[in-house]
Amino acid sequence: SSIGNTTKECGKETDFCYNATAEVASFSTLQKAGCNTMICQHSKNECIEKNITGIPMRFCCCNTADYCNKHEET
């Protein structure tokens, strides 16, 4: 998983790479990436977009492909 120039390799075989992006204002985007087994149980190897409390969010999880670093829908 990566954000900017930072890259992280997941260490556990059960881990999924995840990347979450939220547009909090027209001038501000929050991003979080990492490795987790539990957080990706309901969105394995896909990207989803949701509107949470009026904030558009994009959440990607992957362990077999590089969805976390792409900007495409699966």
CATH 3.40.50.300 fits 2-69, yes or no: no
pTM, two decimals, is 0.70
Q: What is the pLDDT of residues 10-52, one digit of tens each?
A: 888 888 988 889 988 777 888 888 888 898 888 888 889 989 8
Question: For residue 8, is pLDDT > 80?
Answer: no
Q: Please say whether the beta carbons of 18 and 3 come within 8 A.
A: no
Dihedral sign of CA atoms 21, 24, 29, 30 in order = negative
Domain ranges of the chain: 2-69
